Structure 1
């Protein structure tokens, strides 16, 4: 893995941050399993506290701050969130603004020791990407169930982390779920990948910008129409973010 740049202070802070994550993740997962008999809500609050620890410790140790725009756009009920996916940062940060929530994620992540155990306790929608037809139906059925329980469903429509300046193909599964469940889609754009890259040990100092868009209506519309509107909004915000110097 090749990583360019980074000041000595950023590398030291990144090493400390990685160490903190490695030490706390197994402990949190083990303690989280002990909360299983106490019910989902208490289990959720305990396990997602680890995500807040990771985000806040990145601020303390690495100087990696963030600013959120458009939180007033959130509906007053659970909906589908379709977000840009560039790093591990947004996976954890979104927990703060859309709670309780569940992710649509790769089934293989559930097999990671400790981290995967914690994920399983949060009742995500774990899919096998190779079985596309089955996976899509699974997202719709399980996602509708989660939404009816008052849980936000977070979908990364490009399916994987995409480096800054690039764009993947937007899939329509999130829109299909929203249409079936009768809820809107909330688009989210951000530039976390400029500071915390995919598979990179380096966390650069600066301020991540997060934009939460107005809900996209789904009633009476096709999944392709909804996905196109969400994609247009996200990519327009991404173009704006990428044209600016990284905030520090």
Structure 2
């Protein structure tokens, strides 16, 4: 554990220093040279790929992404499970030009916020609750019109693996208003990079783009379909990873949930 703690500390140091330097560069470009936006986007892609590199070679977290063929041509919404910052790094290379939905507090940070807004990040003020949705919807519609794919984490925050789902209404409102497909994403990243965890654990974090949900469903049916697809596949993927063996310590809560899934799997077979 001591060795992994040191490796994790080295990663966090590189991650934060690297992010701050690039935020300064891209943020200043956003204000001083807005015509160079393609260069700013290239730097953002470099930041993304370098973080995946750091994760692989410093702490031992490999990345596996499947199902990209399920992403339709043209505008769509990507609705992903959210367990760690890895989720952003894994999704971004597969979605063309993304427009991530992020909390307003992040976009209010000087330089970082300038950079994020410049590369089409959409702001949502969670303190306003449902009153924040109209502004978010307007930004999302504009992003879709510009050819972006809108990425939203429907639970609004990172959650531990196999935690009780807590989906919010924002994605339902977007689905009903935007009239574009929604692509669910299941993943297992929290097994390796836990929420607020000081130690990152080696292994292969996986994400899977699932069959898109086409427009036209009633809101309640859409939400049920979205939750069923994401949670069923995420549970199956987490169980597969657990069966292969995990380097991380397993809490009693997580062990209990894994045992439940294993019992359900054994009953079906």
1:159–1:33 distance in 2 versus 1, CA, 3 Å: closer
Confirm or deny: 8 A CA contact 1:25 1:50 kept in the other structure: yes
**Structure-1 separation of matches of 2:130 and 2:37:** 29
1:188 is displaced (CA, Å) by: 0.2
1:207 matched residue in structure 2: 204
Distance 1:148 1:113 in 2: 27
C-alpha offsets along residues 67-99 of structure 1, whole Å, 9 cap, x if unaligned?
122111111223101000111110232111112
Q: 2:8: which partner in 1?
A: 14
In 2 relative to 1, CA 110–101 (structure 1 residues): closer, same or farther, beyond 3 Å?
same
Q: What is residue 91 of structure 2 aligned with on the other side?
A: 94
For the pair shown, the structure with the greater C-alpha radius of gyration is 2
CA distance in 2, matches of 1:113, 1:164: 33
Rounded Cα–Cα distance in structure 1 between residues aligned with 2:142 and 2:95: 17
Q: Which residue of 2 aligns with 1:104?
A: 101
Q: Secondary structure at the match of 2:78?
A: strand
Structure 1 runs of 4+ aligned residues shifted over 4 Å read: none
For 1:200 and 1:59, the matched residues in 2 are separated by 17
In structure 1, distance between residues paired with 2:111 and 2:188: 28
Q: Does 1:192 find its partner at 2:186? A: no
Distance 1:235 1:199, change over 3 A: same
**Under a length normalisation based on structure 1, what TM-score does the superposition of the two structures give?**
0.89
Aligned pair partner of 1:26 in 20, 24, 27: 20
**What is the CA-CA distance between 1:169 and the residue it aligns to?**
2.0
Instruction: Give 2:234's aligned residue.
Output: 238
Match of 1:83 in 2: 80
Per-residue Cα deviation, 1:7-41 (whole angstroms, up to 9, x for no partner): 33322221111111122112101211343223433
Q: In structure 1, list runs of 5 or more residues that go unmatched.
A: 1-6
- 1:114 positional shift: 5.0
CA distance in 2, matches of 1:134, 1:123: 21
Q: Distance in 1 between matches of 2:85 and 2:139?
A: 24
* Contact kept in structure 2, 1:178 and 1:218, CA below 8 Å: yes
CA distance in 1, matches of 2:2, 2:108: 35
Look up the match of 1:3: none
**CA-atom RMSD, angstroms?**
1.9
Q: 2:222 aligns with which of 201, 221, 226?
A: 226
1:35 partner SS: helix
Paired residue for 2:250? Answer: none
How far apart are 1:195 and its partner, in Å? 0.2
- TM-score (normalised: structure 2): 0.83
Moved more, 107-116 or 72-81: 107-116
Shift of 1:51: 1.8
Q: Which runs of 5+ in 2 are unaligned?
A: 247-269
Using CA pairs below 8 Å that are at least 6 residues apart, which structure has the higher relative contact order? 1
Distance in 2 separating the partners of 1:131 and 1:73: 34
Deviation at 1:42, TM superposition (A): 2.8
Structure 1 residues 133-142 or 36-45, which shifts more?
36-45
Equivalent residue pairs, number: 241
Give the Cα separation in 2 of the matches to 1:103 and 1:78: 14
1:145: Cα distance to partner? 1.0
Change (3 A) 1:178 1:24: same
